Structure 1
Amino acid sequence: MFETLSAFIADYGYLNLFVLSFLASTVLPFGSEALVVALVFQGFSPFSVVMVATTGNFLGSCTTYYLGLKGRRVLEKYLSPSPEKLEKSERLFNKYGVYTLLFTWVPGIGDVITMVAGLMQLSFRSFSVLVFIGKFGRYFAIAYSVVFFSNGL
């Protein structure tokens, strides 16, 4: 069983990572961190893993941002975020401004922050730069922590 899973990861690692990272940045309850760790342990290039995960996660966030641009009705119909999470994200956005987008990687509220950015009609350029930096930072920290700690063992 483990050999089959290892072969599947080796054969489709980057594709799986892209898809899982994309889905993880929507309100679907997925996480991509374990696959990032597994791929780095399997010998995949840490930089490539970081870039694939970042790109997938960023594009998933763009999808959520776009739905936010379409308005609260569309969000409630397709994503059904809790009113509490929307209110919390709006308060954070109002208090800290666009730099809140650096924290879209935080589980639980990150996806809602991207929705709020769309709802608030934030420019896509600002959205893109800040979200990409935040997502990149998270995956970089994960992948290179694996490299650092596996070299020390």
Structure 2
Amino acid sequence: MLESLQQLLIENGALGMFLAAFLAGSFLPFSSEVVMVGLLTAGTPATGLLIWGTLGNVLGALFNYGIGSLGKEEWIQQWTKVSPEKLERGKRKVRKYGSWAGLLAWIPLLGSVITVAMGYLRTNLLYSVFNIAVGKFARYAILISAYKAL
């Protein structure tokens, strides 16, 4: 089923990239890199993929931030499946680094925990969005560069 969803997203070009990146940026277990490489292989312009991928991934992270900002740990555990231990770890990182922790939001699994914790601790939204966007943009730019180098 996952492969057919990835194929459907690839068939939808930039919109598919946006949706894949949103899913991957949220707490859902999804890999937008597979869709991006599929679209690059199909000849989709890299610049559009970089923009739509970054935008979707940032919005997915903001979805996590929103859930965290509700402030109910039982809801966080129920909706995001983030364990209390992982949430505590994420909160420690965010307390230490504040909105700068958003630079690590691109890391699979850890990024979701960080963005939920950022919302829970209500880090400055503007700075958080900026740092999240920088990290996610850099990840996709590196992926595109690596693909082009092959």
TM-score, structure 1 as length reference = 0.86
* Alpha-carbon distance between aligned partners in 1 of 2:29 and 2:141, rounded to the nearest angstrom: 22
Partner of 2:29: 29
TM-score, structure 2 as length reference = 0.87
How far off is 1:9 after superposition? 6.4
The more displaced of 140-149 and 54-63 is 140-149
* Alpha-carbon distance between aligned partners in 2 of 1:26 and 1:129, rounded to the nearest angstrom: 17
Within 5 Å, which residues of 2 pair with 1:1-80? Answer: 11-71=11-71, 72-80=73-81
Larger Rg: 1
Moved over 2 A (4+): 7-11, 94-98
Partner of 2:139: 138
* Alpha-carbon distance between aligned partners in 1 of 2:113 and 2:62, rounded to the nearest angstrom: 12
Q: Number of residues paired by the alignment?
A: 143
* Alpha-carbon distance between aligned partners in 2 of 1:63 and 1:10, rounded to the nearest angstrom: 23
Using a 3 Å threshold, how does the CA distance of structure 1 residues 8 and 92 change in structure 2: closer, same or farther? closer
Amino acid at match of 1:64: N
- Cα RMSD between the aligned structures? 1.7
- Other structure's SS at 2:12 match: helix
Using a 3 Å threshold, how does the CA distance of structure 1 residues 46 and 90 change in structure 2: closer, same or farther? same
* Structure 1: gaps (5+ residues): 1-6
How far off is 1:62 after superposition? 0.7
